Amino acid sequence: MSTHALLSFLPNLITLARLLAVPLVVWLIISGHWESAFWVFFAASVTDGLDGSLARGLNARTELGAYLDAIADKALLVSVYITLGQAGQIPIWLVILVVSRDVLIVGGFLMLHTLDQAPAMGPLLISKANTLAQLVLAGVVLADVGLHIIGEGVVPALIWLVAITTVASGGAYLIGWGRGLVRG
């Protein structure tokens, strides 16, 4: 295998590493190893931007990579949110909202695909903002519990930011898909 071929697969390897970090970070949270959970989550979060940047820089963007990236993002965030909710670190209503939005997006994508109207694979700007807000909230909660470095009021503000961007993102997908169905 050539060096270029190996380098082209590097972004997907990074994405797979993020996916493999999911059970580890969940186990660390459940086990009460909050500081370690923060660092593993932080590393996994950093790779979320790194794999895409590498894929663009190496001209190695693939449909497989786009799907793996979306799956890794969903697996990491949904798993961590459910675990943090169960641990009493974030409100259950927020967990339900975040998970419901992801189920809506995956379900909508599958439905449109079934109707032979699959949307182009690519997140909306509000969806990227929502993912960033979700990553920041989870990281801040883990840092707050594990490292005790977060000031009062930060977590509640981030909870509302995540709630607002989650609703806006879910609504934007519904509106976009509705318009596509009317045109299609």
Structure letter (DSSP) for residue 60? -
- Within a 10 A sphere around the Cβ of 28, how many other Cβ atoms? 22
- Cα distance between residue 130 and residue 133, in whole Å: 5
- Within a 10 A sphere around the Cβ of 107, how many other Cβ atoms? 10
For the chain, which residues make up each domain, given as ranges?
A: 3-183
Q: Say which residues have a Cβ less than 8 Å from residue 180's Cβ, sequence separation at least 6.
A: 112, 117, 119
Architecture of domain 3-183 in CATH? Up-down Bundle (1.20)
120-148 b/e with 16+ CB inside 10 Å = b? eeebeebbebbbbbbbebbbbbbbbbbee
In SS3 terms, 22-47 reads as HHHHHHHHHCCCHHHHHHHHHHHHHH
The answer to whether the pTM exceeds 0.85 is yes
pLDDT in tens, the chain (184 residues): 566 666 667 888 888 999 999 999 999 999 999 999 999 999 999 988 887 777 777 776 777 777 888 889 899 999 999 999 999 999 999 999 999 999 988 888 787 777 777 665 567 899 889 999 999 999 999 999 988 888 889 999 999 999 999 999 999 988 887 776 666 5
